[in-house]
Amino acid sequence: MLEKNPVIFIILAFVVIMIGTTITMIAPFKWINSESDKIAEVKPYTPLQQEGRDLYMREGCNNCHSQTVRTLAADVERYGNGGGYSKSGEFVYDRPHLWGSRRTGPDLARIGLKYPDPKGAWHRKHMADPQSVVPASNMPAYAFLNTPLDTTYSERKMKLLKFPYTQADLDDLKGKTEMDAMIAYMRKLGTDIPVKKAAAALQTPVTLKNPFSDLKTVEKEAEAIYKQQCASCHGEKREGTLGPALKGSARSDAELFTIISKGIEANGMPPFAASLDAQKIWKLVTYIKLDSK
């Protein structure tokens, strides 16, 4: 009969398709985004952040940047920025999700923890001209985002998405550029969750004495850490670009250690206590001070 009745066939095919669909796609709605994976600290986007998110979507950033830190050690180390792997409760306000499928650029789920600078100097320079910050980068330039932000639909977006907002939030949009919105979104990513802030306190060493005063033994390793963590802002040769020149810094070892560990938020210097241990920070201090005499 199957071979002869297309109507019955179609119904049967539909039923067969719906079995796996029901179990693995429909049923999970019951417990995903429910109370059990709720994270109280995770807040919806502000009008400016949502505008930034919409620009991220408009430009198709998701085609090169993912937004999920997997539970793998290397992922947590590389993209966690001290916030660990991604949890379901962090994404409840994301319509759509922007997890992506290809990392031609790094994962951005916790980029807000990496560059907490309120002025977003790093992002501003990097987005306008990526190669000026990361010379070998293959990211396109987004200088065209330096244009006034269209806020026609900002309030309606909040209502549609059922996000709370105040008049102050809307006033905050005035005079903003698309770049400002994009940076506001970047700075929000990953920052809601309780981060290992305690780590920063622990990184204040018992004695502020550099155990690596002899550079010879650590130079290679220290240089590698410098290139990975510092060069994009302080220059490949410590000559200073976004951040100040570091070559032969006159600051004391202890002072440098504290700055690297805790950062200087007002200047846009991120804290590295969560991503580098004390040994590494001391090695960096030694490297930075090289040629100071």
Partner 1 sequence: MKASTRYVDDSVKGFITWSIIWGTIAVVVGILISLQLAWPQLNVAPYLTYGRLRPIHTNAGIFGWGIGSFIAMFFYITQRLTKTPLWSPKLARVTLWIFNVAIASAAVTLAMGINRTKEYAELEWPLAVIVAIIWVLFSINVFMTILKRKEEQMYISLWYIMAALVGVTVLYVVNNLGMPLHLFKSYSAFAGTNDANVQWWYGHNAVAMVLTVPPLAIFYYFLPKITNNPIYSHRMGIIAFWSLIFMYLWTGAHHLLWTPVPDWIQTVAMAFSIMLIAPSWGAVINGYLTMNGQWEKMKSNYLVKFMIVGITFYGLQTLQGPMQSIRSFSAFIHYTDWVPGHVHMGTMGWVSMVLFGATYYVATTLSDTEVYSVKLANAHFWLVLIGQLIYSITMWIAGVQQGSMLLATNPDGTLHYSFMETMIAIFPYYKIRAVSGFIYLAGLALFIYNIYKTFQKGAAAPAVKA
CA 183 from chain centre, in angstroms, equals 11
Of 35, 34, 37, 26, which Cα lies nearest the Cα of 86?
37
| Identity of the residue, 136 or 266, whose beta carbon is nearer to partner 1 in the bound complex | 136
Pick from 72, 198, 245, 264 the residue near partner 1 by CB under 8 A: 72
Of 94, 53, 286, which Cα lies nearest the Cα of 184?
53
Contact 152, 54 (CB under 8 A): no
Query: Residue 234 Cβ, how far from partner 1 at the closest point, in Å?
Result: 15
Question: Quick check: 194 binds partner 1 (CB under 8 A)?
Answer: no
Question: Quick check: 60 binds partner 1 (CB under 8 A)?
Answer: yes
| Identity of the residue, 118 or 194, whose beta carbon is nearer to partner 1 in the bound complex | 194
Binding to partner 1, residues 90-109 (CB under 8 A): 90-106
| Identity of the residue, 15 or 266, whose beta carbon is nearer to partner 1 in the bound complex | 15
Question: Quick check: 25 binds partner 1 (CB under 8 A)?
Answer: yes
Between the CA of residue 60 and those of 65, 93, 146, 148, 275, what are the distances in Å?
Answer: 9, 19, 17, 20, 29
Taking contact as CB under 8 A, which single stretch among the options 110-118, 151-159, 195-203, 249-257 is the one that binds partner 1?
151-159
Question: Quick check: 131 binds partner 1 (CB under 8 A)?
Answer: yes
Binding to partner 1, residues 28-47 (CB under 8 A): 28-29, 31-33, 37
Q: Using N-to-C axis directions, what is the helix angle for 253-262 and 278-289, rounded to 10°? A: 130
Q: Which residues contact 276 (CB under 8 A, 6 or more apart)?
A: 225, 229, 260, 284
Question: Quick check: 136 binds partner 1 (CB under 8 A)?
Answer: yes
| Identity of the residue, 27 or 198, whose beta carbon is nearer to partner 1 in the bound complex | 27
**How many residues belong to the site for partner 1 (CB under 8 A)?**
82
Q: Which residues contact 281 (CB under 8 A, 6 or more apart)?
A: 203, 257, 260, 261, 272, 273
